[in-house]
Amino acid sequence: MRRPNILVVLSDEHTASATGWAGHQHVRTPHLDQLAAEGVSFDRAYTNSPMCVPSRLSLMAGQYVHQIGAWDNGVIPGPSFRTWGHHLREAGYTSVIAGRTHFNGPDRLLGFDRRPTDDLDFWLDHSGRPLRRTAEWRRPSNSHVTENGPGDHVHTRHDVEATDAALEFLGDPGPDPFLLYVGYMHPHFPLVAPPSFRALYDPADVEPPLATGHQHPVISLLRHGFRNDEPLTEEQVREATVCYWALISHLDHQIGRLLAAVPDDTVVIYTGDHGEMAGHHGIWQKQCFYEPAVRIPLLLRHPSQPPARIASHVSLIDVLPTLRDIAGLAPDPALPGVSLLDPVDRPVLSEYHAQGMVDGGFMLKSGPWKYCYYGAGQQPQVFNLDTDPLELHDLSTDEALVAKLDSELRSIVDPDRIDVLAKSDQAERLATVPRG
């Protein structure tokens, strides 16, 4: 029996709530809404790291960040790194990449067979040198929010070219079953939106984010490092927000082009590498464990799966086991995830080991609880998402609850040992890789 073709679409910085099917009042995503209506949507899907390269390498390998040493955006995967392409080759699949993957280094296939379009080179780090993780580190500017408005941008052109390349492949895919991965830049900053999509939205519809008030010291330092503590005008916030919405709509338009070209029996998966804070808690970008940064959209349309909404906790490490399942391969015991064709509700782990956070950060999402561990010398954060969805009330003074959640975290990972390992690797790379 011939295995089904598979299309996987990955966006960059798309938070789970910013879609029509998730109930957003303004964001227009008709094609993704249709995909959600025809397939399975996962309402508690999480990234395994709120940072581009770590998240994507974890996704590709089907392993946690700490298992593969994907600490930061400078990491270059080594020759033993195994991706979806390596795995599905065992089942006779041809694997193709079009567009953004944001993996670094000279190997631009990384186990895939073909790559008609690549990343934008200025996003890639071919040196392997990490940024320093010190309290003094600061981003050069807050352009990730202040650079906004209608206009042409290379990200938009990249995404259109990725769709064009994918459509060309779909016109003549060959005799073997295929895995086609299409990666998009949108809605990643800068928030410069195609004018026709920017025109869909009115800044007056934007509800400015809530005031931040007192913040955890780790979050305060993160905001300082990424210059999120620099004041913004209300006009800047409104324009940045509608441009973010417009970039999502342009992304949706590209996905619509793909969906119109694939046969109905093609398995389709849509997800993102991480979310976007969009001003919540005074933060733009990601790099933290609040819901807008770590909860991601995840849709799966499979001919044998009836439409459904799934409340089970899942994460990006579950995608590779799913691809293996679709391809008829047996479960791989080296992979900690499970197939999304038969999801299992279990705790989710996310971790962050990069600039803006001096010590490693670890998040456990288990049931209604979110536990954020920042090292032995720091007070953690604890939230009950059922009663406090905006994460405004920290419950970390409850020592019994903290002890329970900390034990659950340590059943998956030893955060203190991993923090030492990450810092050691980063220090070695800083010492041996020349500054570019």
Helix (H, G, I), strand (E, B) or coil at 377: coil
Main-chain dihedrals φ then ψ at residue 196, nearest 5 degrees: -65, -30
Domain-embedded: residue 378: no
Please say if the pLDDT value at position 312 is more than 70.
Answer: yes
Q: Mean pLDDT throughout 128-134?
A: 92
* Residue where the block lists tokens 């799934």: 310
pTM: 0.97
Please say if the pLDDT value at position 198 is more than 90.
Answer: yes
- Looking at the structure of the chain, the number of domains it has is 1
Domain-embedded: residue 221: yes
Question: Tens digits of per-residue pLDDT, 38-81?
Answer: 999 999 999 999 999 999 999 999 999 999 999 999 999 999 99
pLDDT of residue 436: 57
Helix (H, G, I), strand (E, B) or coil at 148: strand
DSSP 310: E
CA-based nearest residue to 365, from 384, 350, 348: 348
pLDDT of residue 132: 92
Please say if the pLDDT value at position 18 is more than 60.
Answer: yes
Domain-embedded: residue 98: yes
Domain-embedded: residue 329: yes
Please say if the pLDDT value at position 348 is more than 60.
Answer: yes
248 vs 256: CA distance, rounded Å: 12
Taking the chain, what is the end-to-end CA distance rounded to the nearest angstrom?
A: 52
Q: Mean pLDDT throughout 181-201?
A: 98
Question: Tens digits of per-residue pLDDT, 201-247?
Answer: 999 999 988 777 789 999 999 999 999 999 999 999 999 999 999 99
Domain-embedded: residue 330: yes
354: confidence class by pLDDT, cuts 50, 70, 90 = very high
Beta bridge partners of 114: 96
The rounded percent of the chain whose pLDDT value lies above 90 is 94
Q: Mean pLDDT throughout 429-433?
A: 90
Rounded to an integer, what is the distance from CA 79 to the centroid of its chain? 24
82: confidence class by pLDDT, cuts 50, 70, 90 = very high
Whether the Cβ atoms of residue 184 and residue 159 lie closer than 8 Å to each other = yes
pLDDT of residue 225: 97
Q: What is the CATH number of the domain that holds 246?
A: 3.40.720.10
Domain-embedded: residue 393: no
Query: Would you state the structure tokens that stand for residue 46, as one six-digit string?
Result: 């999480």
Please say if the pLDDT value at position 179 is more than 80.
Answer: yes
Domain-embedded: residue 150: yes
The alpha carbon dihedral of 145, 56, 259, 303 has a sign of: negative
Q: Please state, as a whole number, how many other Cβ atoms lie within 10 Å of the Cβ of residue 235.
A: 9
Q: Mean pLDDT of all residues in the chain?
A: 96
Question: Tens digits of per-residue pLDDT, 138-159?
Answer: 999 999 999 999 999 999 999 9
Domain-embedded: residue 77: yes
Domain boundaries, position 249 = 6-341
